[in-house]
Each structure stands twice: as structure tokens, then as C-alpha cells.
A and B are shown apart, each in its own frame.
Chain A
Amino acid sequence: MTMTCREFRERALELGDAGVQLDAELRAHLDTCDACRAVAAELEAIASAARSLGPRPVPADAWPRLTLALGRAGVRAPVQEAPVRWTGTWLAVAASLILTLGAALWVVARGPVVPPGGDEAGSAAEAPTSSELVASIESELQLAAAHYEKAIAGLEQVATASDAPLDPEVMATLRENLKVIDTAIDDSRLALRREPENRVAQESLFEAFRRKIGLLQDTIALMNEMRKGDEMGAARAVESLNKS
């Protein structure tokens, strides 16, 4: 049966994440599908943006704290950090971009958090002071934010290119909503500066981060969808209609 574009993307994502070469079926689809070739070319730009991020430097104290957090959650931590690997597959890169950000945020999220009700036995001696916690949160948030901004800049560069598949009004809407989420992030950060251990502020911050990641994922997915068929022409057609 002929592979559909959706099936292609799902397969490519699975294979790409493992760094496996496209198989014959996937290549056959690419050979016959202008849309998916266009998507591949488009997302390669995202890959470039993602590569420009460079390796994510993990704070020296992050791994012990991550291990500790995993231990509290009953999860056995891996022995060492998995190396960052960029595959040649655009979908994998896009996914890795998101996962990198997500992992970074998770480290940020789990690291400085002190469980409500106090520390567990045995960890009190290692517990950082309140001022250290604040400094740690700020430091790691700034680092995560920097990666965010680079990622967003890369996405925007692709989305606002002359032949980008997204309608300007749609892109404006996405930007407005990213600002809404940014406001939530700013609110939560401000609250955490005042009350670093406040659970609502912590959850709100990372919920906002997750939403932002989700919106970026949606943006990528939307671009993919718009590439199906003659989307470039469609995008221009929509622009033309909107200006009428």
C-alpha cells in the first residue's frame, strides 16, 4: 500500500531518533512526494538552528541533584549522561531540539526543588541554603531561557522566510500566544524569587515551560501539515485572501 505523508513522518521520526538511515520505503516516498521533500528541506533549516545551540552545558552540581531526585522518585539513575547526538534526519533534529529543551527544563525543575514539608533524612547535610537555592534557580533558568530564545529564533527564522508555509496572521497569533506564555513564565519567576519553595509558583513555571514547548511542537507540526500538497501556493493564496 502506498505510504501516506503521515505514515512517512511517523516512520521517519522513529528511525531518525535512532540514527538509522531511511529505508527503501521511506526513500520511495520521498522520491514521489514533493511535499515531504519540501518539508525535509524546510526543517533542515531548523536543524541548522538547533545545531547552532551547541552542546547544552550541564551545571556541575546538576547531576548529583538529579540522581538524588530520581532516587526520591524511586527511579534508578543511569550511570552517566547520555551523549548528545544530532542525527541527519530533520524530524529527529526537530524532536531532539524539543527534547533537549525539555530535558534542560526538567533538570532545572527537579534540581532546586525542596519537597514540601522538609528534607528527607540523609539529605539535610547536603541541602543548599535558601540563597544558594535562589541563585541556582536563577542561573539555571537563565541558561534554559537562553536555549529557548535560540530555538525560538531558529523557528521564527524558518517561519518568516519568504516561502514559509505559515500565513502571517497565523504566525502573529502564535507569537501573541507565546507572549502570553512568556508572561506566565515571568510571573512565575518573579514569584519564585520571592518564594523559591512555593509549590504553586514552581508548578506554574514549569507548566508554562511545557506549554511553550508544546506550542513550538505544534508550530513545527503545523508547518509540516502546510507542506502537504501545494501548501506554498496555498499560503500565498490565504495571504492574498486576507488582504482582500
Chain B
Amino acid sequence: MITAPFTFIVATSVAAASQLGPIAPPARPLAYVVPPLVAHGWEGPYEDGKGPAQVEKSWKTFTVSGDTTVTVGNFVGNVTVTGGPGNEVKLEIVKRAWGKDEAEAKRQLEAARVSVNQHTGRLEIRSMPGGPKHRIAIDFSLVVPAGANLEVNSMVGDLKITGVKGEVRAETVSGSVEASGLAGLVALKAVTGDVKLWSSASASEVAANSVSGNVMLKGVKARSLTCSTVSGSVTVANGAAERAVVRSVNGDVELVGGLTEGGRYELKSHAGDIRLVLDGKVGFQLEANTFNGDIVSELALTGVARTSSGDRYMKRKALHGTFGDGSAQVDVSSFNGSVQVIKVKKVAK
């Protein structure tokens, strides 16, 4: 957490700051070694069983243009970004290092490096752990101009992004991605971890993908949505999109809320169930298929063509039909799972 007001942080405090690591490459137009203001702390003797810990906090403020692109590259640690007013990027860095004793923890801390490079229209922040035995975590907390574009890449750590209106691309390998209040093109991805996006309205594309984790979108409006995971469930609730592709290999897929007139929606799972919870305000053509599951619909469809299994269970394997004016197209398919079309009585907020 930020422990000092940003207004207190001025460039003149650089002289008092401890050196964190090497100066960024001199060829760059502007380069900083953060922080200008540093607070060291002994947090030993143990943290998470990793041995004595050393903690160092630092802050820095950068003046940027409103549409600047802020990139953050981190290896171990969390990244939190909040869109705010003004044309400043306010950066807080919390470095943690562990060792078998205090001296080693201090050495580890000194080896944890952060480079910040500022070019025209771009601010690059990157952690640079350098050795094979480093035991370091670096957390970044940023306040950026709301209109900024954002690129975050992390290896281990959670990402939280709020109120950034420019393009947002955020990926973590091990950790979760949570975002809200976004307005531009959005691309969120986790390899191992959940991806959550809520309360966002984008005139562009929104993509939220995981490999091993759940994906949840709530209250997201976009021109198109792409949500997928391999092992996990995908839920898209109370949003709106002209196009939506929602897929899981091993988990359930759920679309809750309304459709858009003329919209196209594709929901697929191999091993999971698919639930369409619709308010029935927009007509649609349904094409639902399953190989081993069953299909049920609470909404009365017209022009129905159905296929059932030939065994004694008489499961419905295909259901094609039209609801209302049929303006939207909904294609639903699960290999092993079932398909349910449910009429929602009241969409949960």
C-alpha cells in the first residue's frame, strides 16, 4: 500500500534515495532509476516460510501525455493499475526479498532492480531480477491517466486494473486478472488463473482468456466478446455484444441476460454443460446440438426441428428453432454436456 502522499514525492528527493540497480540504457531518451524516495524496512524474521524478509518501498511521479502507453513487465509480484484524472503516472514500488538471514535478504533486495524508461508517448516499467538464486517479489501500484493505453505482462502475480479507458492488454502466467471500468479494446489473459471483467463498456473488442482457470464477465458491453478457457468455466452475464464467442473445453459455459438484435452468438464446450439464460426480449434462431447430452428449452420455439437419441432415454440431440422474430443467431454445441435454454424471470444485478 502507498504509505506516503504522492504530492510529497518530488524530484529533489532523488539525492536521498538509495540506488536500486543499474541505470537504464543510456541510448534511451529518458531513463530513471527508481525510486526518488525510498523506505527500507526489516520485516523479518520469516514470511511465508521463505526466511527473513527485507522490504523496500519507493515512489515516483511521471508527467505524460493523456494518451500515453504505459507498459509494465514484472516477474514475481502483483500489479495494480488505476485510471485517474490528470496527466501523471504515479508509481509505487514495493520490493520484497528473502534470505536465510538478514544480510542475505538485504543482498537479495539490492539485486532487485526496476527500470523505468520514458519515451515520447510511452512509459516502460520493468523489473529485472538478475541472478539464479534470487528470491524477490516486486509489487507495482500505478495511477495512470484514465485515457492511457496499458500493457501489463507478468510471470507470477495477480493483476488488477480499474478505470483505464484506453486499450488494455494484460497477461499473467500464474495469477488472476481482474479488471473493471474499462472502455477501449480489452485483451486479458491468464495461463493459470481466473480472468474477471466487470462493469465495462467498450466500443471495440473484448477478449478474456485463460488456459487453466475460470473466465467471468459481468456487465460488459462490447462490439464483440471472445471468452475461452481450456480447464474452467466461462460465464458472461448481464452484458451486451453484437458478437460473442464463448468456449470451454472442460468446463461449463453460461450466457446470462439479453441478446442484441442481429447479434451472433456461439457457445461451445466439449465436456461441460451450456446454459442460456435469456430474458426473451430479443428474438433469435437457435441451433443447439449435443452428442452425449440432452437439450431442453423453456422458451417456446417455432419451426422446430429436433433429433433424439434412438435409445430408451430419448435424449434430444439437436434442437433447431426460432424464438420471436429470430433476429439473433445462437449456435450452441456441447459434445458431452447438456444444453439448457432458460427463461430468466429477473436478471440478477
Contact = CB atoms under 8 A, between A and B. Distances in A.
A170 B73 CA distance: 18
A163 to B, nearest CB: 10
Contacts of A215: 211, 230
Given A177-B212, A201-B335, A244-B135, A169 B231 contact: no
B336 interface: yes
Contacts, number: 139
Contact of A187 (B122, B129, B336): B336
A211 B248 CA distance: 10
Interface in A1-50: 1-2, 4, 6, 32
A1 to B, nearest CB: 7
B73 A228 contact: yes
Interface in B115-140: 119-120, 122, 126-137
B112 to A, nearest CB: 10
A195 to B, nearest CB: 8
B119 A237 contact: no
A187 B270 contact: yes
Contacts of A149: none
A1 B121 CA distance: 10
Contacts of B132: 233, 236-237, 240
A174 interface: yes
B49 interface: yes
A191 B291 contact: yes
A58 interface: no
A170 B174 CA distance: 7
A233 B130 contact: yes
Contact of B249 (A2, A180, A240): A180
Interface in A190-226: 191, 198-201, 203-204, 207-208, 211, 215, 218, 222, 225-226
A184 B173 contact: no
B174 A167 contact: yes
B188 interface: no
A237 B249 contact: no
A150 B268 CA distance: 28
B191 A240 contact: no
A96 interface: no
Contact of A207 (B133, B156, B192, B270): B270
Given A180-B231, A200-B291, A238-B155, A174 B191 contact: yes
A4 B51 CA distance: 38
B289 A200 contact: yes
Contact of B134 (A176, A228, A240): A240
A55 interface: no
A241 to B, nearest CB: 6
Given A180-B230, A187-B336, A228-B73, A233 B270 contact: no
A232 B261 CA distance: 50
Best-buried of A183, A208, A234 by chain B (most CB within 10 Å):
A234
B126 A229 contact: yes
A201 B291 contact: yes
Contact of A173 (B75, B211, B317): B211
A237 B335 contact: no
Given A169-B174, A187-B336, A226 B249 contact: no
B27 interface: yes
Contacts of B50: 241, 244
Given A173-B211, A244-B50, A204 B335 contact: yes
Interface string B271-314: 10000000000000000011100000000000000000000000
Interface in B41-58: 48-51
Contact of A199 (B49, B120, B134, B289): B289
Contacts of A176: 212, 231
Nearest to B137: A241
Given A215-B230, A229-B127, A244-B49, 5 more contacts: A181-B249, A187-B336, A188-B335, A203-B289, A237-B131
List of 4 A-B pairs having minimum Cβ-Cβ separation, nearest first? A234-B75, A184-B270, A204-B335, A177-B230
Interface of A: 1-2, 4, 6, 32, 167, 169-170, 173-174, 176-177, 180-181, 183-184, 187-188, 191, 198-201, 203-204, 207-208, 211, 215, 218, 222, 225-226, 228-231, 233-238, 240-241, 244
17 contacts: A2-B27, A173-B212, A174-B211, A180-B230, A188-B270, A200-B290, A204-B270, A207-B268, A211-B228, A225-B153, A228-B153, A229-B73, A233-B129, A234-B76, A237-B135, A240-B135, A244-B49
